[in-house]
Every structure is written in C-alpha cells, then in structure tokens.
Structure 1
Amino acid sequence: MLYTPEQTAQLPEEGFQYLLTSAKDHVLTITLNRPEKKNALNPPMLSELAFAMTYAKYSSDIWLIVLAASGDTFCAGMDLKRLAVGDTESMSVPEPAGPVRLGELMADLHKPCVARVQGAVYAGGFLLVGGSTYVVAVESATFSLPEVKRGLFPFQVLAVLLDIMPARKALDLCLRARTLTATDALNIGLVTNVAPVNELDDVIMRLLDELREFSPTAMQFGLRAYQQLKSLPPIKQQEFLYDQFSQLQQTPDAKEGIAAFLEKRKPNWGISD
C-alpha cells in the first residue's frame, strides 16, 4: 500500500502540482496537468496520481473516476530526462511507501474508471489507458509504444495489454512501435468508444449517467473479484466467487436493490443499514 486511507482521507487543500481534481455527483475527475511536457510522468506526478487514486478508492462518496489530460497530448509516458538525471523536486504529497507502478495502481482501484483521451498516447501512458475500465477517445487520437526505438521495452505495458487482447497483437504493438489510429485501437479493444472531438464530453457524460444508475458496491465487488481471480487456480475460482456473492448479499446496497425491485421503485444507492 503506497498510501493509507488515513493519509488520503482528504485531497490537499492547496491542490496538486501536476494534477487538477474535481468531484461532482459521485465522480472524481483527475486531470493530468503538465501540458508543456506533454503530460510526461515524473516522480512527483506519479506520487500525486497514487495519492489521488488512493483517495478515490477509499472515499465512499466517489463511485466513478474520470482520468483526463490538459493540452494536445494525453500522456507521453515516463519523463525519460528525469529518469536519466534523477529527481530532487519537492512534492505536494507525502513520499509513497514504495515505487509507484501504474499498472498495479490502476488494477487496485476497484472502481469504474473512464479515460478521456483527447490526444496522443505514448509508452507508459498505455498503463493509464489499458488500466481504465472504459476508454473514450477522440477520432484524431493516436497510440504508440516507441520504446524499442530507444533501446527499451514496455514490459509493464505488455502485462496490461495481455489482459485486453491476444498475445500476438500485444507483442506486435511492443515490437514494431506502430502508431495506431483511434479506430485501430477500438478494433483491438484498447479503446471502448470513439467520438468526434465536439462530442467527447457528451459521450462520457452519458456513460457516467448510466453507471450511476447501478450499485456502486456491486461494481466494486465485481472489479475487485476480477483482479483477485487472476491469482487463483481454476479449481478455487467458483468457491471464491460463491463467497463473494454471499458477502455482497449482506451489504446495504444489495438489501436496497432487492427491496426496490420488490417495491417496483428506483433504488437509492449509498444508504447505510
């Protein structure tokens, strides 16, 4: 655990250095805000992302997350200059308890996350996109893994891609450094929706409105179980899922959902026993 629930009970009053955040109607929007560097990820920015994501995970008022970006590039990946020379910049959040690995951070969120892709995605930016539950991209967005051109390999990205697409497609993206269009990315499952630039926010809002109709507790149980299944042998999976269903049945959301169904009314999520 990089940050504890106690550490992240509130977002910093003075805000973050490289992120913008806003919360409304149970949705936390986290915006990468380093446009002059194409939102390349330096150590302070990674720590801020870990802090904000931990806040989103443990805040009962946050049901959904939107991951957005300022400028014309969604994310250029890791800041290679900072990696080469080291980083001594002060941070707006406490030092995390360990290295920030974006793939693990996204997988551990356990709440629906929508990536709002308004521009190009490169290299480590794939970890944010690949780890999101939904990815809504503008028609002009592009996606590329250029690491092999620099004598590197996108090891962590490969692991995320293997959850999304067949192994040969994932390996081909890593090995040939091709640039995909938004339609290409849609066809291989990296993107879930493609929208004209003037309709991007409308498409995302409709998706959020639909998700808000459903039980946040049920969705969190489901996303957590999806991640936990990966570490279980097949013979243990059904037993685990049966236990998860039994636990979910005891939650206020499940009781409210069943009552609303029987009473033929709309459920009121988020109530307590």
Structure 2
Amino acid sequence: MTEANQTATEEPLVLREDRDGIAYLTLNRPNQFNALSEELLDALQGSLDAIAEDKSVRVVVLAGNGRAFCAGHDLKQMRGQSERAYFQQLFTRCGQVMTRITQLPQPVIARVHGIATAAGCQLVASCDLAIAEEGARFAVSGINVGLFCGTPSVPLSRNVGRKQAMEMLLTGGFISAQQAQAQGLINRAVPLDELDEEVMKLARTICGKSSASIALGKAMYYKQLEMGVDQAYQFASEAMADNMMFEDVGEGIDAFAEKRPPNWQDR
C-alpha cells in the first residue's frame, strides 16, 4: 500500500494499492462524501502522475471511501473564498485532473457507489469506463445552489446525448444507475455485492491485452473524437499502421494461428 499526500498527523487523501497490474486509487474523505477539496485534487493529480510513469500498472480503478463515490467540489471550502481568480484557478485545476485521466496511458475504471454529484459526476464521465452499483445516483446539481455545472458539462456532454445532458444540467435532478447506463454515462449497473467482482472482471480482461497497443489506442480514440470524419479516418489509419509495427501484433497473430495465449512483450 502506498499513500499520496500524507502527513505525519493526517489521513492520506488518496489511498493507492497495487495488485496484479491494477492500481486501486481510493478517494479518502469519507466524512465529506469525498468532496474534491483543493488538497484532494492535488493528491489525485499526484497519484495519476505517478501511475503514468509506472510501467507495472496496466489498469487503474478509481473508487471512493465511505458512503459515496464523490459529492463534487467542497462547497464549504469554496464559500470561504470571494476572489474570481481563486475560482478560475480551482475550476482550471479540476479540469486538469480530469484531462489527466484521459491522457493516462492506462485505462481508468470508475467504481461507483452511493452518489456521484457535480464534479463527482464529472469524474465518472472523465473515466474511460464506469461500473456502478444498482443503487448509485448521479447528478450535476450545481444549479440547485445557483451555479451552472459548466466544467462538469464538458465530459458529460461527451458521454450522453445533448438533451439528456441539458436536462441534468438545467434541473440538477438525480438519475438512477439504470438511467445512467441507458444514457451512456456508465457501462453497467450491478448489485452492490457484485460490484467489486464486476470491476475486477473488467480490469483483468484489459490486463490480458497488450498494454502498448492499449496506450496507443486510448490516445488515438480521444484525439479522433474532436476531428471531422475524414481527418479522423486518416489519423486512425496512421495510428493503426504504427500499431502494426509493434512486436506484440506479430506475437498476437502468431498466437491466434497457433491457438495459444499470446506472450506480450511487457509481460
């Protein structure tokens, strides 16, 4: 077990445990429903930066300690500030953490329980994959306190349809895990007692693939999303041609022909 942002007298804000190529990151402000304080954002950024350079990590699982996944920004901390520059810096910082998730070479799976609201819902939408327990609920609820969830709308609108996203943003209302799955915010919803097993099944499946090819593919996927169709096809074609030069591809094709498991280069 390694711990991020720990002092001699304080609990770590992000817990990290590595097991069988999977890095488990757990937000650790349970009494505040894992609200994203400045300090927690810094701790999460540090953990993600460390994982990005760690070749032993093939998949990341992001979870929350206590009764909820993440309740968004720390409103109490925010209320103690009054300068526009502070809020500009805070929301920019949060956006950088979300972007770091998509820039990470390893896939990131959100393990969601309880609630994921405002920037917490943004965090789910920013992860590559998400599995939630059936009782989980999601909202971009800033409008309920007079604050339109502008930055959460960025990944939300890239996951769900426009009208579904606008309804969430304009009403601040919750949607269920089943609605979140139907709208594309999460991959699936499962009973709480099956949540860890389902997350592990997905993580282990990804661990069995070529990490070099996954890193290339993840980077290509997010870049092509922002392109026109013709440009996206050209970019994807170049990425696939590069991918074909990987030793893992030759090994994978040989293994398929020989009806045996592939022996990836980084194993």
Determine the structure 1 residue equivalent to 2:148. 153
Determine the structure 1 residue equivalent to 2:93. 99
2:197 maps to 1:202: yes
Amino acid at match of 2:186: V
Determine the structure 1 residue equivalent to 2:214. 219
- In structure 2, do the counterparts of structure 1 residues 13 and 161 end up closer, same or farther at CA, with 3 Å as the change threshold? closer
Amino acid at match of 1:230: L
Q: Which moved more, 1:177-186 or 1:261-270?
A: 261-270
Larger relative helix fraction: 2
Percent of counterpart pairs with the same letter?
27
In structure 1, how many angstroms separate the alpha carbons of the residues matched to 2:245 and 2:6?
Answer: 39
Q: CA deviation at 1:13?
A: 9.8
Structure 2 counterpart of 1:126, from 121, 146, 150: 121
Q: CA deviation at 1:256?
A: 2.4
- Residues matched between the structures, number: 252
- In structure 2, do the counterparts of structure 1 residues 79 and 14 end up closer, same or farther at CA, with 3 Å as the change threshold? closer
Deviation string 1:22-59 (CA, Å, 9 cap, x unpaired) is 11111100000000111001111101111111222232
Q: CA deviation at 1:119?
A: 1.2
Determine the structure 1 residue equivalent to 2:138. 143
In structure 2, how many angstroms separate the alpha carbons of the residues matched to 1:133 and 1:157?
Answer: 15
Deviation string 1:67-122 (CA, Å, 9 cap, x unpaired) is 01110011010012212325xxxxxxxxxxx8342332222124221111121111
Structure 2 counterpart of 1:61, from 53, 56, 61: 56
8 A Cα contact 2:211 2:266, kept in partner: no
In structure 2, how many angstroms separate the alpha carbons of the residues matched to 1:200 and 1:54?
Answer: 27
- In structure 2, do the counterparts of structure 1 residues 82 and 108 end up closer, same or farther at CA, with 3 Å as the change threshold? same
Counting only pairs closer than 5 Å after superposition, residues 160-175 of structure 1 correspond to structure 2 as 160-175=155-170
In structure 1, how many angstroms separate the alpha carbons of the residues matched to 2:3 and 2:248?
Answer: 26
Amino acid at match of 2:216: F
In structure 2, how many angstroms separate the alpha carbons of the residues matched to 1:258 and 1:186?
Answer: 34
Amino acid at match of 1:155: G
In structure 1, how many angstroms separate the alpha carbons of the residues matched to 2:5 and 2:40?
Answer: 17
Amino acid at match of 1:244: A
Determine the structure 2 residue equivalent to 1:182. 177
- In structure 2, do the counterparts of structure 1 residues 135 and 12 end up closer, same or farther at CA, with 3 Å as the change threshold? closer
Amino acid at match of 2:264: W
Amino acid at match of 2:40: M
Gaps of at least 5 residues in structure 1 are 1-9, 87-97
2:261 maps to 1:266: yes
In structure 2, how many angstroms separate the alpha carbons of the residues matched to 1:166 and 1:12?
Answer: 36
8 A Cα contact 1:27 1:62, kept in partner: yes
Structure 2 counterpart of 1:82, from 44, 68, 77: 77
SS state of the match for residue 169, structure 2?
Answer: helix
In structure 1, how many angstroms separate the alpha carbons of the residues matched to 2:68 and 2:154?
Answer: 23
Gaps of at least 5 residues in structure 2 are 82-91
8 A Cα contact 2:70 2:116, kept in partner: yes
Q: CA deviation at 1:213?
A: 2.1
8 A Cα contact 2:131 2:190, kept in partner: yes
In structure 1, how many angstroms separate the alpha carbons of the residues matched to 2:148 and 2:32?
Answer: 22
Q: With the length of structure 1 as denominator, give the TM-score of the two structures.
A: 0.85
SS state of the match for residue 99, structure 1?
Answer: helix
Q: CA deviation at 1:11?
A: 7.2
SS state of the match for residue 218, structure 1?
Answer: helix
